[in-house]
Amino acid sequence: MKIPINIASQPFRRDRPMIAAYLAVSTLLAALLAALIIFIQQNGQQLVGMHQDIARLNRQIHDVSIEKARLDGIMRQPQNSSVLEWSVLINTLIYQKAISWSLLFADLEKTLPYDVKVVALHPQVDTLNHVKLDITVGADKSGSIVLALKALESSPSFGTVKLGSSFPPTQAEPLYRYRFTVNYAQKL
C-alpha cells in the first residue's frame, strides 16, 4: 500500500473546480433572485389592479342597492301596493300556467303501471322554478302502488318520493289510496 506524502510547507490544493462551481451556483441564485423580484413586482401591480376592480365593483353594488331600495320604497307606497299584489298574483299564475299538463300526463302514463290511477294532482312551483307534485293515486292492490312508487323514483322525469298518507278501501272508495309528493324534472 502506497501512502502519498507531501512534505511541502504549503501543499497544492485543487480549489479551481470548487470555485467554478461556487461561481456557477452564485450566478444561478442571483438570476433566480432577480426573477423572483420581477415576479413580486408584477404581482404587486396585478394586486393593485385587482383592488381597483374590487373597489369599482363594490361601488356598483352599492349604487344598485341604493336604487333597489328607492324602487322598493316606491312600490311599497299605499297607492302602489295594489299593483304590487296584482303583479305577484299574475306572476304566480304565469308560473302555474308554465307547467305543461300534456307533458306531465304523458310522463305519468309512461311511468305508472297500468292498474294505478291518478286520483288527484296538485303541482307546486317553488322560488327556484322547481316543480313539486302532490299526487294521490289509487289501485285495487297495494302492491301496485308500491311498484308505482319504485317506478317514479327510477324514472328520469321524476325524483325522490316522499310518502304522505295512505287510505284503505272503503265502501265509497274501493281503491287503496296513497298520497305523496315527488319532484318533477320539467323545466319552466
Q: What is the pLDDT of residues 30-53, one digit of tens each?
A: 999 999 999 999 998 888 889 999
Sign of CA dihedral 30, 35, 38, 39: negative
In a domain, 8, yes or no: no
CATH number at residue 112: 3.30.70.2830
pLDDT band (50, 70, 90) for residue 89: confident
Tell me which H or E stretch contains 88. helix 78-97
Of 76, 109, 128, the residue that ends a domain is 76
| pTM of the full structure | 0.51
Does residue 104 sit in the same domain as residue 57? Answer: no
Same domain assignment for residues 57 and 114? no
Residue 125 shares a structural domain with residue 56: no
In the chain, pLDDT over 90 holds for what percent of residues?
Answer: 36
**What span, in angstroms and rounded, lies between the C-alpha atoms of 158 and 108?**
9
Task: Identify whether the C-beta of residue 159 lies closer than 8 Å to the C-beta of residue 185.
Answer: yes
pLDDT band (50, 70, 90) for residue 8: low
Between residues 171 and 98, the one the model is more confident about: 171
Domain that holds residue 159: 100-184
- Same domain? For 119 and 45 the reply is no
Is 95 within the bounds of a domain? no
Cα–Cα separations (whole angstroms), residue 41 to 64, 92, 187: 35, 55, 50
Q: Does 9 fall in a domain?
A: no
Partners of 184 in the β-ladder: 131, 158
Span 111-133, average pLDDT: 87
Same domain? For 110 and 68 the reply is: no
177 with 108, same domain? yes
- pLDDT band at 21, cuts 50/70/90? very high
Q: Minimal CA–CA distance to 140: which of 177, 112, 165, 171? A: 177
Task: Give me the residue label for grid cell 299605499.
Answer: 78
User: What is the C-alpha separation between 154 and 160, in angstroms, rounded?
Assistant: 9
Who contacts 142 (Cβ-Cβ below 8 Å, separation ≥6)?
Answer: 176
Number of domains comprising the chain: 2
- Which helix (H) or strand (E) element contains residue 187? none
* 113 belongs to a structural domain: yes
